[in-house]
Amino acid sequence: MALEAVHRKLRRTICMDHRAAADGYLKWANLILGAAEKYLGRSNDLRILDLGCGESYSVTLLLSAMGCRCTGIDVEPAWQPSPLAALKHAARSGPRSVVKRLVHEYVVVRRVNRSVARLAKLKMPTRLDVRCMSITETPFSDNEFDMIFSLAVMEHIMDMDAALAEMNV
């Protein structure tokens, strides 16, 4: 019975329409570029840090496709940039987690990001700078980025003082 329920859920996930999510990500990317234009006086060739880019890293993907040098970081491992990272995560987390993550990455994330590409009418980059790390401990040097942004992440940070110090706010 449990296998049947998993099969139904997987079928729903595969058949899901991801246009609404793609539209939301595109709106966020345009808002970020609008803010860059307003406050920095330009929106091209920006170095942007996406704090908490999430498992789908869609805004990082869009900003990279729009000509920015965008780096996404999250505490959840992003599998797209590194097959080796995927294998290390698989060894730590066990088979159930691996299957769940594979379905999420190769079905949901890829479908959402394809919808994003179609909606934005942009050629998506094949390589992204997406890293698994904490906001409170980044290897970046001062002034490495023109802009730092975060969407719905700050409420999940346990050590806000360390995070703000790292961002140099």
The domain spans of the chain are: 2-167
- Terminal Cα distance for the chain, rounded: 52
What's residue 1's pLDDT?
47
**Considering the domain 2-167 in this protein, what is its CATH number?**
3.40.50
* pLDDT digits 0-9 by tens, 4-61: 665 566 566 555 566 777 788 888 888 999 999 899 988 778 999 999 888 778 888 8
pLDDT of residue 83: 60
Gyration radius of the chain's alpha carbons: 17
Q: What is the reported pTM?
A: 0.74
Least Cα distance to 129 among 67, 60, 77, 66 occurs for 60
Which candidate, 103, 97, 118, 98, places its Cα nearest to that of 18? 118
